[in-house]
Amino acid sequence: MLVLSRKPNQSIMIGHDIVVTVLEVRGDQVRLGIRAPRHVDVHREEVYAELQKANKAAAHVPGKEVLASLEAQARNAQEKLEKESEMTRSKGRIKETNTGKKMGEKKPET
């Protein structure tokens, strides 16, 4: 960490376009003025930490385990539907074979 001593109305430069000026020293408080381009965010450290915490909470996405579990449930449901569909088709073929005609077909009159 770079440590500098400055008196009121003295400044330091950060890069080419950020100026930090000591405006006033009153007891154990120091008032600073910061001149920076609009695209540079300037926050007190405790405010910045809270912003980061809020951003992480807002951007939370389910973990890989949750997604894998949902995918497995979807696959199981699809497999179950396919098996039920196959069983229904098989039962229809068995009835057709046993009766010699398709279900719903009327007996021919003699």
How would you write the pLDDT of the chain (110 residues) with one tens digit per residue? Answer: 999 999 999 999 999 999 999 999 999 999 999 999 999 999 999 999 998 988 887 777 667 777 788 888 988 888 888 888 777 777 666 655 555 555 555 555 65
CA dihedral 51, 56, 57, 61 (to 10 degrees): 160
The answer to whether 20 and 34 have CB atoms below 8 angstroms apart is yes
0.75 surpassed by pTM: no
- Residue 80, number of CB atoms within 10 A of its CB: 10
